[in-house]
């Protein structure tokens, strides 16, 4: 599978630093400027598949605050799909500025583990996860209709050991089954305890971190991806320092030694929301330059 004609296309995991606007228009939508900055910076850095910047709150509340059946951090009734699309407005703005955009959802298991069950409707989090998947599948369909190139499902909880991965994968697969576009599963952190389970997901792309967790590369070198692509995290999202182009190039080349370059998407380890705007932009710009250097070695 190829998302683009060029080798080693660049993308992002999603989030970007929030740069709030000022003036009268910010009173109507205080985060509209943040979306515009995030999109403009990704385009200026040369990213091939951008996001909307995920600037409207943390990854849990951005979704749970809009789902019927959830109040605050508590589940108080049967979880239902949102009455209106949650992320489509910002995604459509990104699509108006760039032809290829990644839609992003926080995964059902990660959402469930950020919530307390305060209703007899759910006996446990496993039941909640499956209803969250049905609600998110509606949002995923909205994003597909809007024209995103790929949909990413974020499940950082998978690497912690806290989630029932069998149920979590059933939930992810339920979302995938509703879509025609490729779906990417992002799992950050060390993967040694969960990799065999995670690779059972029915997704087209697995996105993992390799800069901050180089052991993941050795781990994946022994696995059969069965034709799926790898989102190759080669920029340390937790480090405020902007890595040099040469450092990132070496990380990408280490990945090429394991994966076919045709199977790789180049991106940061995780979202960049916690970094300064200058650091986030610098990391993306250097990542694009490093990917271009490695690509040139294959395309002449």
pLDDT at 1: 61
Fold of 24-297: TIM Barrel (3.20.20)
Size (the chain), residues? 300
Dist CA 67 CA 132 (whole Å)? 9
Q: Which two tokens stand for residue 193?
A: 């305890």
Residue 2 pLDDT greater than 80, yes or no: no
The 3-class secondary structure across 96-143, one letter per residue, is HHCCCEEEEEECHHHHHCCCEECCCCCCCHHHHHHHHHHHHHHHHHHH
Residue 300 pLDDT greater than 80, yes or no: no
Angle ∠(300,295,47) on CA atoms, nearest 5: 135
Under the banding of pLDDT at 50, 70 and 90, the label for residue 265 is: very high
Dump pLDDT digits (tens) for 187-230: 999 999 999 999 999 999 999 999 999 999 999 999 999 999 99
Residue 109 pLDDT greater than 80, yes or no: yes
Place of tokens 């330059």: 289
- pTM of the predicted structure, to 2 decimals: 0.96
Answer yes or no: are the C-beta atoms of 166 and 132 closer than 8 Å: no
Dump pLDDT digits (tens) for 34-74: 999 999 999 999 999 999 999 998 999 999 999 999 999 99
Under the banding of pLDDT at 50, 70 and 90, the label for residue 169 is: very high
Residue 120 pLDDT greater than 80, yes or no: yes
Answer yes or no: are the C-beta atoms of 19 and 34 closer than 8 Å: yes
Q: Which stretch of DSSP H or E encloses residue 175?
A: helix 165-176
């Amino acid at each position: 599978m190829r998302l683009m004609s060029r080798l080693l296309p660049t993308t992002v995991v999603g989030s970007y630093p929030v740069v709030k606007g000022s003036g009268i228009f910010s009173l109507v939508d205080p985060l509209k400027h943040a979306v515009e900055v995030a999109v403009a910076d990704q385009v200026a850095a040369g990213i091939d598949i951008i996001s909307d910047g995920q600037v409207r709150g943390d990854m849990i509340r951005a979704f749970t605050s809009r789902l019927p059946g959830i109040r605050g951090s508590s589940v108080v009734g049967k979880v239902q799909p949102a009455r209106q699309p949650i992320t489509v407005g910002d995604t459509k703005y990104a699509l108006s500025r760039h032809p290829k955009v990644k839609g992003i959802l926080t995964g059902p298991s990660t959402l469930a583990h950020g919530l307390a069950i305060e209703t007899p409707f759910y006996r446990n989090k496993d039941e909640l996860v499956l209803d969250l998947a049905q609600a998110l599948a509606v949002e995923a369909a909205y994003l597909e209709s809007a024209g995103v190139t790929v949909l990413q499902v974020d499940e950082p909880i998978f690497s912690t050991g806290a989630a029932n991965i069998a149920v979590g994968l059933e939930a992810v697969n339920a979302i995938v089954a509703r879509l025609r576009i490729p779906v990417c599963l992002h799992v950050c952190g060390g993967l040694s305890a969960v990799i065999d389970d995670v690779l059972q997901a029915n997704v087209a792309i697995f996105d993992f971190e390799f800069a901050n967790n180089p052991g993941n590369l050795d781990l994946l070198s022994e696995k059969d991806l069965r034709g799926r692509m790898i989102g190759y995290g080669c920029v340390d999202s937790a480090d405020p320092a902007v890595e040099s182009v040469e450092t990132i190039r070496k990380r990408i080349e280490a990945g090429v030694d394991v994966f076919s370059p045709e199977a790789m998407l180049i991106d940061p380890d995780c979202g960049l929301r916690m970094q300064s705007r200058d650091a986030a932009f610098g990391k993306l710009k250097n990542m694009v330059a490093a990917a271009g250097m490695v690509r040139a070695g294959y395309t002449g």
